[in-house]
């Protein structure tokens, strides 16, 4: 299963500049999702984050991971529920940043389900650039009515 930006926007409430996933490239319903974000020097965040030495902010990497993970509950829901539900993040644990992410990088997010019970999802997220792990975290989320 692959989702383009239009399909992602049907599931997530985020829009530019806060939509931090460009495409979903692989999904195993309720278990695993992979997506990516192309990091461009034209992103306004680089004006103020390490000017002259542009580094993509770690907090935005985690947010992109979370947005990618938010797709997972929607993969097992009835399509009629998409417009009625939203995924809210409850916690971020064990976040680690391994390497800097720079303009021109393709940031690949891989998020898997640790477990889910009812409306609560516990996820493991990883972010890669060229196959190298750059960040990881455990995330918890809850599905809510809009």
Do 85 and 143 touch, CB atoms closer than 8 A? Answer: yes
**Catalytically annotated residue among 14, 49, 53, 122:** 49
Active site residue 49: yes
Catalytic positions are 49
């Amino acid at each position: 299963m692959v989702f383009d930006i239009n399909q992602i926007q049907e599931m997530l409430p985020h829009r530019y500049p806060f939509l931090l996933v460009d495409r979903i490239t692989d999904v195993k319903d309720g278990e695993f999702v992979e997506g990516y974000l192309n990091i461009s020097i034209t992103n306004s965040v680089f004006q103020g984050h390490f000017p002259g030495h542009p580094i993509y902010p770690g907090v935005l990497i985690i947010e992109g991971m979370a947005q990618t993970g938010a797709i997972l509950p929607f993969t097992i829901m009835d399509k009629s529920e998409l417009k009625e539900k939203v995924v809210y993040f409850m916690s971020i644990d064990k976040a680690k940043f391994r390497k800097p992410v720079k303009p021109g990088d393709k940031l690949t997010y891989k998020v898997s389900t640790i477990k889910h019970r009812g409306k609560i999802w516990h996820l493991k997220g990883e972010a890669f650039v060229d196959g190298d792990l750059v960040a990881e975290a455990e995330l918890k989320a809850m599905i809510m009515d809009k």
